[in-house]
Amino acid sequence: MAGRAGRRGIDAKGLVIILVSTIGKSLKSSVTGLPTESLLRNMILGRQTELISRFRVTYSMILNLHRSSSLTPQDIMKRSFMEAASHRWETKQRQHLSVLNKKLNETTKIISHNNNTDNNISNIIIQTSTITISKSIEGTSDSFKSLIDSLDVQVRCPHNGVECCDSIGQYYQLCYKYRQLTNSIISTLDVKYAQRLQQIFCPGRLILLQLMVNQSVWLVPAVIINYHWKTKNNNAGNQIMVRR
């Protein structure tokens, strides 16, 4: 179990060091956090990992090196070691990835504010991997309405065809509108009901913390540990400061 000689069966004994911090979650006990019994039993009593790496230079290898100017000694070693199998696997994975990218581009649909769609992907420059929103202004209700009307959503459907793109685009627009309305409600509460907020947001309170727009996750759970109130410059209300 120690080094190549141990895996070849030459060494009679060896040394095994188990680093608990590097073991995956599936191999740890959910109660103690230590390696499971089956993992330790397999480590001590199981079969050693076979190593097929007995590389040797043959006369045919030397002839192949002299015959081809593009062939290097590293290429010969890759063909002789187990890296040949991993190289074939990597080639298959690249081909599979190319097929998936082609399928992803063919199932992309653009939904604009006037419900016009464009399925010709060759005329579209896609800069993101999932969904993009073009937004320019925020603030008042009029600007928010114009923002919703000018949404351009890029939807990538993982299935064959684009039947679900319309519903996905509408769902995303509703989620975006929900977030904007939530921000408007919070601003109103901050101005008119500051005293009530002081009673609600006390230390130990469980809350859902809303992150910035550019974050992939909108809401995350949090606990209020401490807070202090800061008066705004215009003295129109108070602003809560939450420390996670």
Distance, C-alpha 122 to centroid of its chain: 27
Contacts of 123 (CB under 8 A, 6+ apart): none
pLDDT of 143 above 80: no
Q: Once rounded to an integer, what is the mean pLDDT over residues 139-147? A: 47
- Contact (CB, 8 A) for 201 and 227: yes
Q: Is-above-0.75 flag for pTM?
A: no
For the segment 100-106, the average pLDDT, to the nearest whole number, is 78
Q: What is the pLDDT of residue 38?
A: 81
Unique residue bearing structure tokens 């420390």: 243
Residue 100 pLDDT level (bands cut at 50, 70, 90): confident
pLDDT bucket at 157, cuts 50 / 70 / 90: low
Residue 170 and residue 203: Cα distance in Å, rounded?
A: 38
No. of H helices and E strands in the chain? 8, 7
Residue labelled with tokens 């309405």:
145
Q: What is the mean pLDDT of the chain?
A: 65
User: What band does 11 get if pLDDT is binned at 50, 70 and 90?
Assistant: low
Residue 1 pLDDT > 50, yes or no?
A: no
* Token code pair at residue 43: 């480590």
Q: Give the integer Cα–Cα distance in Å for 83 and 85.
A: 5
- Residue 35 and residue 19 in contact, taking contact as beta carbons nearer than 8 Å: no
